[in-house]
């Protein structure tokens, strides 16, 4: 897309440092990259101009929220342009009105939400769990993302089904794998793992392997109990 910009690394905030290829702790690192040390950056707040049609989206969102009696600074935590994508971070209290504005305003018309993905940043204190919503405007052929961050100690976000009903199973999957609780969902149950499964397998603090698997009487040890590579 012509006009897109990507902000330099100086705008990034380092939230933690990863040790090893997968950041695994307390077990044998069989990846061969146990000595790899890399920072974990998060994009910081951007300022206009964002580039391309991104400025128009943000301006129209601000105007649409004002028509609903909502201040932009209350409804939006920050705006980020990174790697050619626009992400609008919103507090969970304003997710529904922001999403409805993006869907309903004629100049925006983001009719399609492609689901919700969970992300776990265990070292981002107070914002450990993120829910990311990719949006697409078929009318204007545009894309963007909404992102909400909540603490691990209170992982509640309003369901987006009143605005985008097709998010039903996506929210169940994100709950299943990350433990984010979508308040108001009509049937928030596991969708991939068994109902009695303990924990949420895609969190970064979930054990890597660690589940004995038995084949015809022979037990295969979990990865963290096998041989070590140095």
Q: Can you tell me the distance from the alpha carbon of 118 to that of 200, in angstroms, rounded to the nearest whole number?
A: 11
Q: Can you tell me the distance from the alpha carbon of 126 to that of 149, in angstroms, rounded to the nearest whole number?
A: 8
Q: Is 219 left (phi over 0), alpha (psi -120 to 50) or beta?
A: beta
pLDDT digits (tens, 9 = 90+) for 71-103: 999 999 999 998 889 999 999 999 999 999 999
Q: Can you tell me the distance from the alpha carbon of 221 to that of 99, in angstroms, rounded to the nearest whole number?
A: 46
- State pTM to two decimals: 0.80
Q: Do the Cβ atoms of 108 and 137 come closer than 8 Å?
A: yes
Tell me the CATH number of domain 9-225, given options 3.30.460.20, 3.40.50.720, 3.30.460.80, 3.40.640.10: 3.30.460.80
Task: Using pLDDT thresholds of 50, 70 and 90, give the confidence band for residue 70.
Answer: very high
pLDDT at 118 over 60: yes
Q: Is the peptide bond before 49 cis (omega within 30 degrees of 0)?
A: yes
Reduce the DSSP state of residue 9 to 3 states and report it.
helix
Q: Can you tell me the distance from the alpha carbon of 34 to that of 159, in angstroms, rounded to the nearest whole number?
A: 39
């Amino acid at each position: 897309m012509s006009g897109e910009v990507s902000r330099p690394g100086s705008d990034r905030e380092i939230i933690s440092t990863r040790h090893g290829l997968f950041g695994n702790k307390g077990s044998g690192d069989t990846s061969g990259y146990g000595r790899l040390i890399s920072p974990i950056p998060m994009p910081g707040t951007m300022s206009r101009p964002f580039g391309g049609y991104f400025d128009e989206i943000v301006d129209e969102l601000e105007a649409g929220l004002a028509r609903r009696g909502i201040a932009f600074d209350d409804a939006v935590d920050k705006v980020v342009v990174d790697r050619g994508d626009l992400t609008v971070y919103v507090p969970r209290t304003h997710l529904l009105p922001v999403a409805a504005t993006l869907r309903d305003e004629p100049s925006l018309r983001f009719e399609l939400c492609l689901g919700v993905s969970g992300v776990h940043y265990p070292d981002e204190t107070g914002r450990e769990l993120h829910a990311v919503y990719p949006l697409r405007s078929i009318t204007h052929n545009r894309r963007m993302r909404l992102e909400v961050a909540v603490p691990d100690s209170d992982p509640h976000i309003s369901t987006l089904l009143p605005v985008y009903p097709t998010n039903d199973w996506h929210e169940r999957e994100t709950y299943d794998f990350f433990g984010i609780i979508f308040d108001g969902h009509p049937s928030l149950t596991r969708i991939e793992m068994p109902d009695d499964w303990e924990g949420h397998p895609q969190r970064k603090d979930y054990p890597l392997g660690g589940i004995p698997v038995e084949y015809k009487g022979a037990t295969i040890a979990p990865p963290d109990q096998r041989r070590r590579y140095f």
